[in-house]
Amino acid sequence: MEGNRCHVVVVGGGIAGLAAAWYLRQGGEGVRVTVLDGARRIGGKLHAVEVAGVPVDAGAEAVLARRPEGVDLARAVGLAGELRDPGTARAAVLTRGALRPLPGGQVMGVPSDLAALAGTGILSPGGLARVPLDRILSPTLVTTDVSVASYVRARMGGEVVERLVEPVLGGVYAGRADRLSLEATMPRVAAAARFERSLLVAAREIAAEAPKDAGPVFTTLRQGMGTLPGAVAAASGAEIRTGVTVRELHRTENGWRLVTGPVPAPEVIEADAVIVAVPAPPASRLLAGEVPRAASELARIAYASMAVVTLAYPRRAFPRPPAGSGYLVPPVDGRPVKAATFSSVKWPHLAEAHPGLLLLRCSIGRLGEEALLQRDDAELAALAVAEIAGVTGARGLPLDSRVTRWGGSLPQYDVGHLDRVARIRAAVAGVPGLALCGAAYDGVGVPACVSTARTAAARILDHLGSARQWQRGDDSPRNLLKKG
Ligand SMILES: Cc1cc2nc3c(=O)[nH]c(=O)nc-3n(C[C@H](O)[C@H](O)[C@H](O)COP(=O)(O)OP(=O)(O)OC[C@H]3O[C@@H](n4cnc5c(N)ncnc54)[C@H](O)[C@@H]3O)c2cc1C
């Protein structure tokens, strides 16, 4: 506490940490906020790079528009005029030797319309014939959390898992359906599974609830989602320090002490409260001393690694520009590229600003495919170029390419994830002046991260409000607690 101002330190300057700083600012002038990030830049997984002189997202490239938190934050920090809609949301699955449209009405890859599914050719005739057995099979008992694969396979057969659900989950989590939690990754399906026998019927009902005229599902920013962190940081009024890795976190008489800097020359920072907005592994290390129960749960959250290869071709390299927003690849098809985005097709503002270029991005690597990522940048770029040539007919080499590695970047919401998060929160609830936020908890997408940031900031503002009342009584919260 300095004069009448409290000091809150946010550890981690990804979108969650920056959003937390912005929400703290909404609590009034009585809070001074410092954001510390170990990297040389803020933004974490929101990062634009230059390819052929064009700023393009190398991390998150879109934000769900049907959930308000991400878009609302962009508007609140002055980026309303920068929001851009996609030109198409038509995505495909590259499987069984061809690009095939994702069936209309699918819910995280679970089909809801048999005719639409049949028209895509994604499943073999045998796989397709298995799906409607879902309507007559005896119920699949779901009393606790189960893996997505086990439930969907039981209802609709293995091919739906392999050729539809796997690529969709791979696109979001870079994860595997036999590990990922039904409750955490498909909450609506999990809820329906408890009372609705047929998964087809449940998926149809969930798909029907999607608003028909609510505009596009996703949106982005004109210069890339990578411009959001800077705008949020500026609007937060926080002091932003990069290249500052927090190594230790200790409770003190009145708050918290953070240790940063090299071991021989540590820097100590005092704070009234702390928000830990880093991925689970560093969060676990930071909390090991003060909240060991939370730390050990955090340590159990696995992360997948991946790489994004961005390619810029002359438009004339394509006999026909690729159609749709891009495609996903099922692991069973054994291709190194797990997804490709036709950025210049998906985002018309990119094509308008750079009409001579065709920008694409390829994602490489899922959980368990780490060996693939051990190749050097040139090899990964070559894999992506060969893939794009094979799938789209692109001739020649790209004008420019860029490989961005995202090691340990996507948390895996394994079976039991929601219970684990509940245990982490219960452990932290008893610790005054500490809150957590970020992608490890309630969703990996930007809106979910922003939502955890808002909750964390509210918890800290509540705590500081009570702490102030205590201090007016001339005593610190910790002293009062000690007096019992
Ligand atoms: C390639 C890729 C594509 C994606 N695409 C999308 C998409 O299109 N749409 C979408 O909604 N989501 C997408 N996501 C997911 C989303 O981008 C992330 O889940 C989200 O940005 C995570 O934000 P965060 O603040 O929780 O964590 P991070 O972005 O990981 O930020 C954490 C920060 O903490 C810092 N840090 C770590 N340890 C310390 C320490 N000890 N001391 C100080 N600082 C530390 C790091 O340097 C980092 O800046 C994508 C993710 C990836 C990897």
Tens digits of per-residue pLDDT, 237-287?
999 999 999 999 999 998 999 999 888 999 999 999 999 999 999 999 999
Of ligand 1's listed atoms, the one at least distance from the Cα of 444 is: 19
Burial label, 53 (beta-carbon count in 10 A; 0-12, 13-18, 19+): exposed
Share of the chain above pLDDT 90, in %: 89
Tell me the average pLDDT across 357-370: 96
Quick one: pLDDT at residue 262?
87
Between the CA of 406 and the centroid of ligand 1 the distance, in Å, is 9
Tell me the average pLDDT across 115-140: 97
- CB of 37 within 6 A of ligand 1: the answer is yes
Between the CA of 409 and the centroid of ligand 1 the distance, in Å, is 7
Q: Give the pLDDT band of residue 477 (cuts 50, 70, 90).
A: very low
Quick one: pLDDT at residue 443?
97
User: DSSP E strands: which ranges in 195-252?
Assistant: 218-221, 239-242, 246-251
Between the CA of 299 and the centroid of ligand 1 the distance, in Å, is 17
What are the phi and psi torsion angles at 249 (to 5°)?
-135, 120
Q: Give the pLDDT band of residue 483 (cuts 50, 70, 90).
A: very low
Of ligand 1's listed atoms, the one at least distance from the Cα of 447 is: 11
Quick one: pLDDT at residue 292?
98
Q: What is the residue-averaged pLDDT of the chain?
A: 94
DSSP state of 399: S
In this structure, the residue with its CA closest to atom 29 of ligand 1 is 44
Q: Give the pLDDT band of residue 471 (cuts 50, 70, 90).
A: low
Residue 430, both tokens: 């008893």
Does the pLDDT of residue 478 top 50, yes or no?
A: no
Contact 110, 155 (CB under 8 A): no
**Each residue's pLDDT tens digit, 37-91:** 999 999 999 999 999 999 999 999 999 998 999 999 999 999 999 999 999 989 9
Quick one: pLDDT at residue 210?
78
**Each residue's pLDDT tens digit, 295-343:** 999 999 999 999 999 999 999 999 998 999 999 999 999 999 999 999 9
In this structure, the residue with its CA closest to atom 49 of ligand 1 is 44
Does the pLDDT of residue 34 top 50, yes or no?
A: yes
Between the CA of 341 and the centroid of ligand 1 the distance, in Å, is 20
Quick one: pLDDT at residue 472?
54
Quick one: pLDDT at residue 92?
97
Of ligand 1's listed atoms, the one at least distance from the Cα of 411 is: 19
Burial label, 15 (beta-carbon count in 10 A; 0-12, 13-18, 19+): buried
Of ligand 1's listed atoms, the one at least distance from the Cα of 58 is: 1
Determine the 3-state secondary structure of 207 from DSSP. Answer: helix
Of ligand 1's listed atoms, the one at least distance from the Cα of 244 is: 43
Q: Which structural domains are found in the chain, ordered by start?
A: 6-44+224-301+414-483 (3.50.50.60), 102-209 (1.10.3110.10), 306-411 (3.90.660.20)
Share of the chain above pLDDT 70, in %: 95
- Closest alpha carbon to 27 in 213, 236, 168: 236
In this structure, the residue with its CA closest to atom 4 of ligand 1 is 60
Determine the 3-state secondary structure of 254 from DSSP. Answer: coil
Task: Give the whole-angstrom CA distance, residue 459 versus residue 149.
Answer: 36
Q: Give the pLDDT band of residue 19 (cuts 50, 70, 90).
A: very high
- CB of 44 within 6 A of ligand 1: the answer is yes
Does the pLDDT of residue 473 top 60, yes or no?
A: no
- Closest alpha carbon to 367 in 209, 169, 192: 169
Quick one: pLDDT at residue 475?
40
| The residue to which tokens 């699955």 are assigned | 93
Tell me the average pLDDT across 367-396: 96
**Each residue's pLDDT tens digit, 438-455:** 999 999 999 999 999 999
In this structure, the residue with its CA closest to atom 35 of ligand 1 is 12
Of 15-24, 299-308, 409-418, 475-484, the range with the lowest mean pLDDT is 475-484
Q: At what angle do helices 68-76 and 228-236 cross, to 10 degrees?
A: 60
In this structure, the residue with its CA closest to atom 47 of ligand 1 is 39
Q: Which of 278, 308, 455 to mutate to test the pocket of ligand 1 (most atoms within 8 A of CB)?
A: 278
Task: Give the whole-angstrom CA distance, residue 342 versus residue 346.
Answer: 6
